[in-house]
Homo-oligomer: A and B are copies of this chain.
Amino acid sequence: MPNEKGPDHSRRKERSRQAILAATRALVAEEPYEKVTVEAIAARAGVGKQTIYRRWPSKSAVVFAAFLALSEGADGPGEGADGPAVALPDTGDLGADLRLVLRATAEEFADPAFDRLIRALTTEIANDAVLAAEYQEKLAQPLEEAKKARLRSAQAAGQLAADADLDLFLDLLYAPLFQRWLHRAGPLTADYADALVDAALRAFAP
């Protein structure tokens, strides 16, 4: 019996979900991660703790949902609500397109609010194999598929080796940026992003 409680109930439920996810992101951005508790999220969202536990089994599950919603643009500022906006630009110049995208990723990591959220998420994923699998399935793999579509078009245009391992290509491009960010091993500059693009393109030149 779907909607047995009527459209008002559904709207209230959705509003409370949005409030919880927004409260989670705000707290993660403001507080040391160990201080972000389900209690604190509930207080900030103005709901009871049980409202959160009815939907998510743990703090890590709420944090993951908060991040997923942001990436999907479902309740992020100024984004559409119809799924991940992940299509890569295709100007016909693979190098230029990748530099644009990788520079944007580097800037995103350098944003303090985003930094806190991704560190929290990375910590949870690193220590929770179930969440890691969910992250791969719901977030990493769809993003990678979108990127590989752009790489296949470059292969068709003769800008990338026809037999290039596209997963490996993406690892070469993104993993060094991720590691440098996670370990705070160096600055996340446009120059570094460009150098990664150039090296990956050389490794898989036609």
Contacts and interface: CB of A to CB of B under 8 A. Distances in A.
A123 B199 CA distance: 29
B202 A136 contact: no
Most central of A132, A179, A199, A204 by chain B CB within 10 Å: A199
Describe A's contact surface by its main secondary structure: helix
Nearest to A120: B127
A168 B196 contact: yes
Most central of A122, A168, A171, A200 by chain B CB within 10 Å: A171
Contact of A168 (B122, B132, B199): B199
A205 B137 CA distance: 36
Given A165-B195, A175-B175, A125 B183 contact: yes
A178 to B, nearest CB: 5
B200 A33 contact: no
Interface of A: 32-33, 119, 122-123, 125-127, 129, 132-133, 135-136, 140, 165, 168, 171-172, 174-176, 178-180, 182-185, 195-196, 199-200, 202-205
Contact of A126 (B119, B129, B180, B205): B119
B172 A168 contact: no
A30 B79 CA distance: 44
A119 B125 contact: no
Contacts of A185: 132, 136, 140
Contact of A132 (B136, B184, B205): B184
A179 B184 CA distance: 15
A137 to B, nearest CB: 11
A176 B174 CA distance: 8
